[in-house]
Copies of this chain bind each other. A is one copy, B any other.
Amino acid sequence: MKKDVINIYDIAEMAKVSIATVSRVVNGSDKVSEKTRKKVMAVIEEVGYTPNVFAQGLGLNTMHTVGILVPTISDIYMSNAVYYLQEKLRTYGYDCILGCSGFELEGKQRHVNMLLSKHVDALILVGSTYAGNGEHVQDTDYIREAAQNVPVCVVNGNVLGENIYCTVNDDVKAVYDATSKLIEYGHERILYLTDSQSYSAIKKRKGYEQALEDRDIPVRPELEMHVVNHMHAVRDQLLECKVAFDAVVASNDEIAVGALKYAFKKELLVPEQLSIVGYNNSSVAIACEPELTSIDNHVVDMCYRTVERLISVIENKETDLEHKVVIACDLISRGTTEF
């Protein structure tokens, strides 16, 4: 079944040169006469020779591969990010190897080690879940440890440490602006809904609270609700709770759609009686009716910037890059708000 694999010796023999010469041709060395190069290339093309990556890796200790880790790929945000990351990496000649770590520390550590053991040239962690919640700094120690071996990038999270490069959204400002708009339009009882305590969730809440404080509106704890990340669950939770509210800021679009379903059930007019702002500007934001006003976090930019910086670290060994780059967000206005 298996095709017999041909190696550098075969090529050398067929082209009547030494393996060193073949190697030079393959690696584009300029110390080869044009004539020999042509001769060798002809043979290579003819038999379709590809260098054995293991042997290459053994000597060079690299495979031109970067490891991408996400908590779960089964999430629109993550899968988009992975798509753009790998697309950009390809243009630089890097392939990627994927890991889904789950949200628990143990899984994260195991997967980081798995990727490191494959000798990836770098590690990209996608999602603020990798940034811990700021309370237990030691929860991100495994990242700093990994960074001793290869450069580590964190997309949408901030982790301090040498050889770690972060790209984050300006979540505080985005939510601050959205909340401010809601206040401008007369809303005072604004509900903040989130499903996590991650780095970015915390920043979003901060933006929410700051907007209220700046307008001297009290921040009420009962208006900061923790929910399960599922549309129906959010809807039901809202139906059961007794607090009054006239607007919702959600930490992702699914949650926001859950709020929309709540309004539908209660026969509230949207946006007149209930305004809703989502986050991520994903496809569910336009699947619903009215369509969701949502904050676009520019995943494409984030990913491209991340890869560009990473490449400059890998190839130029630049180590004095800014450790954190901030990407602005956009408010995309649709039918669930008056603005």
Contact = CB atoms under 8 A, between A and B. Distances in A.
Within the oligomer, what is the number of copies of this chain?
2
Interface residues of A, number: 54
A220 B317 CA distance: 64
A100 B303 CA distance: 16
A82 interface: yes
Nearest to A58: B54
Contact of A58 (B3, B50, B52): B52
Given A54-B58, A80-B74, A98 B96 contact: yes
Interface in A107-133: 113-114, 117-119
B54 A61 contact: yes
Contact of A118 (B79, B95, B289): B95
A306 interface: no
Contacts of A1: 148, 163
Given A57-B54, A254-B283, A98 B118 contact: no
A136 interface: no
Contact of A83 (B50, B72, B148, B288): B72
Interface string A77-99: 01110111011000000011111
Given A82-B73, A119-B54, A97 B96 contact: yes
B286 A264 contact: no
Interface in A270-318: 283-284, 286-289
A149 interface: yes
A261 interface: yes
Given A54-B61, A58-B58, A287-B231, A3 B148 contact: yes
A96 B114 CA distance: 11
Contact of A288 (B55, B232, B287): B287
A266 interface: no
15 contacts: A1-B163, A52-B58, A53-B118, A54-B57, A54-B58, A63-B118, A65-B118, A73-B82, A74-B79, A74-B83, A76-B76, A76-B79, A97-B97, A231-B283, A261-B289
Given A73-B79, A78-B79, A287-B288, 6 more contacts: A52-B119, A54-B61, A76-B76, A79-B82, A95-B114, A264-B289
